[in-house]
Amino acid sequence: MTPLIEARNLVRTYEVRKGPFSRPQPVRAVDDISLALMPGETLGIVGESGSGKSTLGRMLLGIDPAQAGAVLFEGNPMPPPRSPQWRALRARMQLIYQDPLAALDRRLPLGVQIREPLDIHRIGSGEEREGRVRELMDAVGLRDDQAGRYPHELSGGQRQRAVIARALAARPSLIVCDEPVSALDVSIQAQVVNMLRGLQEQNGIAMVFISHDLKVVRNIADRVAVMYLGKIVEEGSSDTIFRSPRHPYTQALVSSVPVPGRRLQSRVILQGEPPNPAARPSGCAFHPRCPLAVDRCRVETPHLRPVGAERTAACHLVAGTDAAMAA
């Protein structure tokens, strides 16, 4: 079966200046990343701030162009950004990000904004578009009369519901969600995530779910990719990654998440400085913080390789079999 979306050896480097007079330094935000997502599947992407999650999400949609490598949508190369073909494809690929107020136009009522993709892509008659807006508002838990409201008249949760309705309007095949609930009140985050999950399943939409919140990712993702300084260091089924993480970085991240069926373990506190993308350590980029690092780790970069049937991991010390590693 052809993946809905596939990334092959993606690279994105930014030139970043520390100050107005300093020389620009290259930052490899995404460093040789490959992945594939099947229709209807949810891939969670986790990692600390600066690991390249958002850049990868934008690259999958073709918003941020790849400097090397390629993105394929249904087996075909992604059209050049802003080209007519790319704009047409955007109806099928949507982005939901953290701040609904920034995503919405303050001057337009919600109903008009939810209808926007249908107008842009000329989907349905005027009457059908109105019907679709009502259907979407109902699906995300907004009332009909809220179609005439402006973004600032609603709560954060209601605004994000409207953003989700708009993202679903043109019946996309893929949604990239970048920290979609992290700006919302903790008390309503679960409601919005459950709603999103329900709508995604009903409509068979594939989803890339970017989050630093591993509890949310565990609830929503079928598969998980763990990123560290622009690279995927472990990837596999959500169940496998959360129950028996193999990469020392993944072990530290998931040690803070209670998982049914996994024995209770003490939380691993990551040592050392948080990753600095402008000063990537040699060899395994995680070695300055890794409790298991050996000499080889300082000079040789580990590559992702299969570990059992359900995952890949990039660590010199992780053997090819999938016997649970003591965490």
Interface contacts to ligand ATP, rule CB under 6 A: 14, 16, 27, 29, 47, 49-55, 212, 277
Closest separation between CB of residue 293 and ligand SF4, Å?
4
CB under 8 A, 24+ apart: contacts of 236-245: 236/307, 236/310, 236/311, 236/312, 236/313, 237/310, 237/311, 238/44, 240/308, 240/310, 240/311, 240/322, 241/311, 242/214, 242/218, 244/322, 244/324, 244/325, 245/327
Cβ-based nearer residue to ligand ATP, 48 or 116: 48
Which of ligand SF4, ligand ATP, none binds 292 (CB below 5-8 Å, type-dependent)? ligand SF4
Closest separation between CB of residue 266 and ligand ATP, Å?
26
Which of ligand ATP, ligand SF4, none binds 160 (CB below 5-8 Å, type-dependent)? none
Rounded to 5 degrees, what angle do the CA atoms 144, 150, 154 make? 75
Closest separation between CB of residue 50 and ligand SF4, Å?
18
Cβ-based nearer residue to ligand ATP, 37 or 210: 210
Please choose, from the candidates 206, 218, 144, the residue with its C-alpha nearest in 3D space to the C-alpha of residue 177: 206
Which of ligand SF4, ligand ATP, none binds 236 (CB below 5-8 Å, type-dependent)? none
Give CA–CA dist 175/209, Å, rounded.
Answer: 8
Paired tokens of 263: 């024995």
Q: What is the DSSP letter of 16?
A: E
Please choose, from the candidates 113, 38, 107, the residue with its C-alpha nearest in 3D space to the C-alpha of residue 74: 38
Closest separation between CB of residue 29 and ligand ATP, Å?
3
Cβ-based nearer residue to ligand SF4, 133 or 307: 307
Which of ligand ATP, ligand SF4, none binds 29 (CB below 5-8 Å, type-dependent)? ligand ATP
Which of ligand ATP, ligand SF4, none binds 35 (CB below 5-8 Å, type-dependent)? none
Which of ligand ATP, ligand SF4, none binds 317 (CB below 5-8 Å, type-dependent)? ligand SF4
Please choose, from the candidates 37, 278, 31, 314, the residue with its C-alpha nearest in 3D space to the C-alpha of residue 176: 37
Closest separation between CB of residue 100 and ligand ATP, Å?
17
Residues that bind ligand SF4 (CB under 6 A): 247-248, 284, 286-287, 290, 292-293, 297, 302, 315-317
Compute CA distances 128 → 132, 137, 170, 214, whole Å.
Answer: 6, 14, 12, 39
